[in-house]
Amino acid sequence: MIELQDVSKIYTMGQVEVKALDQVNLKIERGEFISIIGPSGSGKSTLLTILGVLDLPTEGEYLLEGTDITDLDDRELSRIRNQHFGFVFQSYNLFPELTAQENVAVPLMYARVSPKERAKRALELLEMVEMGHRAKHYPSQLSGGEQQRVALARALANNPTLLLADEPTGNLSSKHEDEILALFNHLNSEKDVTIALVTHSPKVAGYGSRLVTMADGQILSDAPIERRYEPVDYQTESTSRMAVGGGKEA
């Protein structure tokens, strides 16, 4: 579905050039749940912005379904972002003056969906993430975990090809972290949503099926996760989990 070929990203800060990504090669297939892990400054968030076409590489090629998109103009890139990608961030990024339902409907407005259909689709998505009963509430009336559920529903509004998550549980308690990660697992396994998730936490990374480890702008390793964290069950809230590769109960 997506292939990066020898992708580098260089930022110029005054007289200094910083290479945030250095000759990265990466393939993402449909239905995968990729965890990208590494310390601060490793390039993992830069990689996510490149994958989501929020920025373009300085060097290399980005192939989306076989087509190189690195030379497209801003208008076409905006269309691709809206149609192919959903984004979930650590800080939720909800509009404080809009209700949960109105927040979820924002991408549909840009896609020129009718107001009636926007409202219907937004409510369906909120119900999918068990937030239908909070549809008319504003972000200030919601907990952190609830806000992230709304943000996740919004990210799914246009049926994205790839869901991109940057430290999506970084501001959450352990309980809410488990709930959100269980929801990610449910979307991947039951709804066939392709996910790329950036984290510095081995536990969070362990919910994925494939682990990409980064340092100094390069991919150090890329391998399947043999023993995944067993998520909190989406319906029954079971709390049994397995550690990444270790076989020990968390």
pLDDT tens figures, 131-153: 999 999 999 999 999 999 999 99
Q: Tell me the pTM.
A: 0.85
Q: Average pLDDT in the 160-185 region?
A: 91
Asked if the model's pLDDT at residue 162 lies above 80, the reply is yes
Give pLDDT, residue 248: 35
Tell me the residue length of the chain. 250
Give pLDDT, residue 174: 87
Give pLDDT, residue 247: 37
Give pLDDT, residue 233: 52
| Interacting residues of 75 by C-beta distance below 8 A, sequence separation 6+ | none
Query: Which two tokens mark 138?
Result: 């504003």
Q: Is 114 left (phi over 0), alpha (psi -120 to 50) or beta?
A: beta
Span 68-107, pLDDT tens digits: 999 899 999 998 998 899 999 999 999 999 999 999 999 9
Asked if the model's pLDDT at residue 118 lies above 80, the reply is yes
Q: Identify the structural domains of the chain with CATH numbers, from first to last.
A: 2-224 (3.40.50.300)
Cα separation of 46 and 39, whole Å?
A: 13
Give pLDDT, residue 231: 55
Give pLDDT, residue 175: 86
Span 16-39, pLDDT tens digits: 999 999 999 999 999 999 999 999
Asked if the model's pLDDT at residue 62 lies above 50, the reply is yes
Q: Give the β-pairing of 67-68 and 59-64.
A: antiparallel
Give pLDDT, residue 166: 95
Span 197-245, pLDDT tens digits: 999 999 999 999 999 999 999 999 999 998 777 654 534 443 333 334 4
Span 46-59, pLDDT tens digits: 999 999 999 999 99
